[in-house]
Amino acid sequence: MGPPGAAGAAGPPGASLNPLQIALLRWWEANESGITYNVGDYPYGICFDGENIWVTNRGDDTVTKLKASDGSLVDTYDAADGIGDAPWDICFDGENIWVANANDDTVTKLLASDGTVLGTYPVGAGPHGICFDGENIWTANYYSNNVTKLRASDGSFVGTYGVGTQPSGICFDGANIWVTNFFTPGTVSKH
């Protein structure tokens, strides 16, 4: 122990809390504010681009962009902007937002910074889930029982791969694509 009044590992003497104590405090009650924000009808998919929250709204064929810091509306994108029919799920590739449009068998690519539509690309029937693997966009095509792989840089078709019955959810684990098979009870597929 050092001389009286010397600062120790926990900070200057007399401080009421040290960093180790602060880490143990219960903060979640302060964060459970129950705040909700208005978006479109039947919101389903949601993702974060590092600054904003993006929400697909299946009921009115829109995508809502909210500022993550305060929930304020940034913009709403619809068919006039290039959003397809029944936007289902959504993902971020580091620069762009990708939307799976379930009723017109396409995905829409939007520039995350301003929502400009960069393209709409065909995939399988009824794309529900969508994810990014660091290079490609993958969709889980519910009605065609397969997944589609598109090159993220330009939306070009890479391939289609069979999975179980009515794939709906999809994610990337750093090495493989995982797909939930809605009507093949109790199964997921790995690619």
pLDDT digits over 86-131, tens only? 999 999 999 999 999 999 999 999 999 999 999 999 999 999 999 9
- The answer to the question of residue 127 being in a domain is yes
Is residue 107 in a domain? yes
Does the residue 157 lie in any domain? yes
Residue 177 falls inside a structural domain? yes
DSSP letter string, the chain: --STT--BTTBSTT-S--HHHHHHS--HHHH--------SSSEEEEEE-SSEEEEEETTTTEEEEEETTT--EEEEE-GGGT--SSEEEEEE-SSEEEEEETTTTEEEEEETTT--EEEEEE-SSSEEEEEE-SSEEEEEETTTTEEEEEETTT--EEEEEE-SSSEEEEEE-SS-EEEEETTSTTEEEE-
Span 50-72, pLDDT tens digits = 999 999 999 999 999 999 999 99
Rounded mean pLDDT, 168-172? 95
Q: Is there a domain that residue 14 lies in?
A: no
Read off the pTM: 0.82
Arithmetic mean of pLDDT, 169-174 = 95
Q: How confident is the model at residue 8 (pLDDT cuts 50, 70, 90)?
A: very low
CATH code where residue 139 lies: 2.130.10.10
pLDDT, the chain, mean: 88
pLDDT at 2 over 60: no
d(CA 19, CA 10): 7
Tokens (6 digits) for 56: 């697909």
What is the band of 9 on the pLDDT scale with cuts at 50, 70, 90? low
Count of domains observed in the chain: 1
pLDDT over 60 (residue 143): yes
Residue 185 is predicted with a pLDDT of 80
Percentage of the chain beyond pLDDT 70 is 83
Residue 72 lies in a domain: yes
**10: in domain:** no
d(CA 115, CA 21): 44
Query: Domain for residue 26, yes or no?
Result: no
The domain of 165 spans: 42-190
